[in-house]
Copies of this chain bind each other. A is one copy, B any other.
Amino acid sequence: VPAALSTTSYALLGLLVFDAETSRHGLTGYELKRRADRTLRFYWVSPAMSQIYTELARLGGLGLVESRPDAASDGPPDGDTAPAWPDEGSPAGTTDAPRGRRYRITQTGRAALLDWLHDSQAEFPVLKHPVALRLLMGQLLDPRAVVDLLNGYLDRLARQRADLETVRRRLGDNPDVRHPAMVADWGLAYYDSEAEIVRGLMDRVKADTRDPPD
Protein backbone atom coordinates (compact mmCIF):
# COMPACT_ATOMS: atom_id res chain seq x y z
CA VAL A 1 0.00 0.00 0.00
CA PRO A 2 2.76 2.43 -0.91
CA ALA A 3 2.46 6.11 -1.70
CA ALA A 4 2.07 7.04 -5.34
CA LEU A 5 5.05 6.30 -7.50
CA SER A 6 5.91 7.78 -10.84
CA THR A 7 5.59 5.67 -13.93
CA THR A 8 9.34 5.67 -14.22
CA SER A 9 9.57 4.00 -10.83
CA TYR A 10 7.33 1.22 -12.05
CA ALA A 11 9.36 0.93 -15.21
CA LEU A 12 12.46 0.32 -13.10
CA LEU A 13 10.61 -2.15 -10.92
CA GLY A 14 9.70 -3.90 -14.13
CA LEU A 15 13.34 -4.22 -15.12
CA LEU A 16 14.13 -5.62 -11.70
CA VAL A 17 11.36 -8.19 -11.98
CA PHE A 18 12.76 -9.38 -15.27
CA ASP A 19 16.15 -9.72 -13.73
CA ALA A 20 14.81 -11.61 -10.75
CA GLU A 21 13.35 -14.21 -13.06
CA THR A 22 16.61 -14.90 -14.81
CA SER A 23 19.30 -14.38 -12.17
CA ARG A 24 19.73 -14.26 -8.45
CA HIS A 25 22.29 -11.53 -7.92
CA GLY A 26 20.24 -8.45 -8.75
CA LEU A 27 21.43 -5.42 -10.67
CA THR A 28 23.67 -2.49 -9.95
CA GLY A 29 22.41 0.98 -10.76
CA TYR A 30 24.79 1.02 -13.65
CA GLU A 31 23.42 -2.20 -15.10
CA LEU A 32 19.91 -0.96 -14.64
CA LYS A 33 20.79 2.07 -16.71
CA ARG A 34 22.11 -0.09 -19.51
CA ARG A 35 18.97 -2.18 -19.56
CA ALA A 36 16.88 0.95 -19.66
CA ASP A 37 18.96 2.12 -22.60
CA ARG A 38 18.32 -1.11 -24.38
CA THR A 39 14.54 -1.32 -24.15
CA LEU A 40 12.87 1.28 -22.03
CA ARG A 41 14.05 4.18 -24.10
CA PHE A 42 11.95 3.14 -27.08
CA TYR A 43 8.64 3.26 -25.26
CA TRP A 44 9.31 5.43 -22.29
CA VAL A 45 12.56 7.15 -21.39
CA SER A 46 15.90 6.04 -20.19
CA PRO A 47 16.39 7.99 -16.96
CA ALA A 48 19.69 9.68 -16.25
CA MET A 49 22.12 7.77 -14.02
CA SER A 50 21.57 10.25 -11.25
CA GLN A 51 17.87 9.66 -11.37
CA ILE A 52 18.27 5.93 -11.26
CA TYR A 53 20.20 6.17 -8.03
CA THR A 54 17.70 8.56 -6.46
CA GLU A 55 14.87 6.36 -7.59
CA LEU A 56 16.57 3.27 -6.20
CA ALA A 57 17.04 5.05 -2.89
CA ARG A 58 13.39 6.00 -2.82
CA LEU A 59 12.23 2.49 -3.68
CA GLY A 60 14.55 1.15 -1.04
CA GLY A 61 13.07 3.50 1.53
CA LEU A 62 9.62 2.19 0.67
CA GLY A 63 10.77 -1.39 0.95
CA LEU A 64 10.06 -2.15 -2.68
CA VAL A 65 13.66 -3.02 -3.44
CA GLU A 66 16.45 -4.37 -1.26
CA SER A 67 20.14 -3.96 -1.81
CA ARG A 68 23.36 -5.61 -0.71
CA PRO A 69 26.96 -4.67 -1.15
CA ASP A 70 28.40 -6.31 -4.21
CA ALA A 71 31.17 -8.64 -3.08
CA ALA A 72 30.63 -11.43 -5.55
CA SER A 73 31.58 -9.57 -8.70
CA ASP A 74 32.65 -12.30 -11.05
CA GLY A 75 34.01 -15.06 -8.95
CA PRO A 76 34.36 -18.39 -10.77
CA PRO A 77 31.18 -19.16 -12.75
CA ASP A 78 30.09 -21.72 -10.18
CA GLY A 79 26.65 -23.09 -10.78
CA ASP A 80 25.24 -23.32 -7.30
CA THR A 81 27.64 -23.10 -4.42
CA ALA A 82 28.40 -19.37 -4.19
CA PRO A 83 26.24 -17.26 -1.90
CA ALA A 84 23.90 -15.56 -4.34
CA TRP A 85 22.97 -12.81 -1.96
CA PRO A 86 25.78 -11.95 0.47
CA ASP A 87 24.85 -10.55 3.84
CA GLU A 88 25.16 -6.87 4.59
CA GLY A 89 27.65 -7.22 7.43
CA SER A 90 30.19 -9.52 5.88
CA PRO A 91 32.31 -11.55 8.34
CA ALA A 92 35.00 -9.44 10.01
CA GLY A 93 38.25 -9.39 8.08
CA THR A 94 36.91 -9.81 4.58
CA THR A 95 37.68 -6.31 3.36
CA ASP A 96 36.65 -7.25 -0.12
CA ALA A 97 36.18 -3.58 -1.04
CA PRO A 98 32.67 -4.03 -2.49
CA ARG A 99 32.56 -2.15 -5.75
CA GLY A 100 28.90 -1.37 -5.75
CA ARG A 101 25.47 -2.26 -4.63
CA ARG A 102 23.14 -4.80 -6.17
CA TYR A 103 19.42 -4.21 -6.09
CA ARG A 104 16.63 -6.73 -6.11
CA ILE A 105 12.88 -6.28 -6.07
CA THR A 106 11.18 -7.42 -2.87
CA GLN A 107 7.88 -9.24 -2.50
CA THR A 108 6.31 -5.93 -1.55
CA GLY A 109 7.76 -4.39 -4.66
CA ARG A 110 6.41 -7.17 -6.78
CA ALA A 111 2.97 -6.70 -5.26
CA ALA A 112 3.08 -2.95 -5.83
CA LEU A 113 4.00 -3.49 -9.46
CA LEU A 114 1.18 -5.95 -9.92
CA ASP A 115 -1.30 -3.56 -8.33
CA TRP A 116 -0.19 -0.86 -10.69
CA LEU A 117 -0.48 -3.13 -13.69
CA HIS A 118 -3.95 -4.13 -12.70
CA ASP A 119 -5.93 -1.25 -11.39
CA SER A 120 -4.37 1.78 -12.96
CA GLN A 121 -5.98 2.92 -16.14
CA ALA A 122 -3.14 3.33 -18.59
CA GLU A 123 -2.90 6.96 -19.66
CA PHE A 124 -2.91 7.91 -23.29
CA PRO A 125 0.60 8.11 -24.75
CA VAL A 126 2.32 11.47 -24.85
CA LEU A 127 4.11 12.21 -28.07
CA LYS A 128 6.54 15.09 -28.23
CA HIS A 129 7.25 15.39 -31.88
CA PRO A 130 9.62 18.22 -32.80
CA VAL A 131 9.44 17.33 -36.48
CA ALA A 132 5.66 17.52 -36.66
CA LEU A 133 5.81 20.73 -34.67
CA ARG A 134 8.14 22.27 -37.22
CA LEU A 135 6.13 21.00 -40.15
CA LEU A 136 3.14 22.75 -38.62
CA MET A 137 4.90 26.02 -39.36
CA GLY A 138 6.06 24.87 -42.76
CA GLN A 139 4.67 27.92 -44.51
CA LEU A 140 7.38 29.99 -42.85
CA LEU A 141 10.04 27.89 -44.52
CA ASP A 142 11.36 27.33 -47.97
CA PRO A 143 9.90 24.06 -49.31
CA ARG A 144 13.45 22.80 -49.70
CA ALA A 145 14.04 23.32 -45.99
CA VAL A 146 10.87 21.35 -45.28
CA VAL A 147 12.09 18.50 -47.43
CA ASP A 148 15.43 18.60 -45.62
CA LEU A 149 13.65 18.47 -42.30
CA LEU A 150 11.71 15.41 -43.33
CA ASN A 151 14.75 13.75 -44.83
CA GLY A 152 16.68 14.30 -41.64
CA TYR A 153 13.87 12.66 -39.75
CA LEU A 154 13.85 9.67 -42.10
CA ASP A 155 17.55 9.18 -41.42
CA ARG A 156 17.13 9.23 -37.69
CA LEU A 157 14.17 6.94 -38.00
CA ALA A 158 16.21 4.40 -39.94
CA ARG A 159 18.96 4.43 -37.34
CA GLN A 160 16.49 4.10 -34.50
CA ARG A 161 14.80 1.25 -36.30
CA ALA A 162 18.10 -0.54 -36.78
CA ASP A 163 18.82 -0.26 -33.05
CA LEU A 164 15.45 -1.68 -32.18
CA GLU A 165 15.86 -4.42 -34.74
CA THR A 166 19.02 -5.52 -32.96
CA VAL A 167 17.12 -5.69 -29.71
CA ARG A 168 14.38 -7.65 -31.39
CA ARG A 169 16.79 -10.16 -32.85
CA ARG A 170 18.26 -10.87 -29.46
CA LEU A 171 14.83 -11.73 -28.11
CA GLY A 172 14.27 -14.33 -30.80
CA ASP A 173 11.22 -16.50 -30.23
CA ASN A 174 12.02 -17.39 -26.66
CA PRO A 175 8.60 -17.65 -24.99
CA ASP A 176 10.02 -16.15 -21.78
CA VAL A 177 10.31 -12.83 -23.49
CA ARG A 178 7.20 -13.06 -25.59
CA HIS A 179 5.89 -9.74 -24.38
CA PRO A 180 9.08 -7.75 -24.81
CA ALA A 181 9.22 -9.22 -28.31
CA MET A 182 5.67 -8.09 -29.00
CA VAL A 183 6.48 -4.59 -27.86
CA ALA A 184 9.61 -4.55 -29.99
CA ASP A 185 7.55 -5.62 -32.99
CA TRP A 186 5.13 -2.85 -32.17
CA GLY A 187 7.98 -0.37 -32.22
CA LEU A 188 9.31 -1.66 -35.51
CA ALA A 189 5.88 -1.46 -37.12
CA TYR A 190 5.51 2.04 -35.75
CA TYR A 191 8.80 3.16 -37.25
CA ASP A 192 7.88 1.63 -40.57
CA SER A 193 4.53 3.32 -40.61
CA GLU A 194 6.11 6.60 -39.62
CA ALA A 195 8.61 6.37 -42.46
CA GLU A 196 5.88 5.63 -44.96
CA ILE A 197 3.77 8.55 -43.81
CA VAL A 198 6.71 10.92 -43.95
CA ARG A 199 7.60 9.83 -47.46
CA GLY A 200 4.03 10.61 -48.46
CA LEU A 201 4.26 14.04 -46.89
CA MET A 202 7.50 14.72 -48.72
CA ASP A 203 5.81 13.95 -52.00
CA ARG A 204 3.05 16.35 -51.13
CA VAL A 205 5.53 19.10 -50.33
CA LYS A 206 7.36 18.50 -53.56
CA ALA A 207 4.12 18.52 -55.53
CA ASP A 208 3.08 21.79 -53.90
CA THR A 209 6.42 23.26 -54.89
CA ARG A 210 5.95 22.44 -58.55
CA ASP A 211 2.33 23.45 -58.91
CA PRO A 212 1.25 26.44 -56.81
CA PRO A 213 4.36 28.38 -55.76
CA ASP A 214 2.33 29.82 -52.92
Binding site for B on A (CB under 8 A): 7, 10-11, 14, 17-18, 39-40, 42-45, 113-114, 117-118, 121-141, 145, 149, 152-153, 156, 160, 175-176, 178-180, 182-183, 185-187, 189-190, 193-194, 197-198, 200-201, 204-205, 208, 212, 214
Contacts and interface: CB of A to CB of B under 8 A. Distances in A.
Given A139-B178, A178-B208, A193-B190, A130 B134 contact: no
B124 A156 contact: yes
How many copies the complex holds: the figure is 2
A197 B18 CA distance: 25
Contact of A135 (B118, B129, B179, B200): B179
A105 to B, nearest CB: 11
Given A189-B197, A204-B182, A131 B125 contact: yes
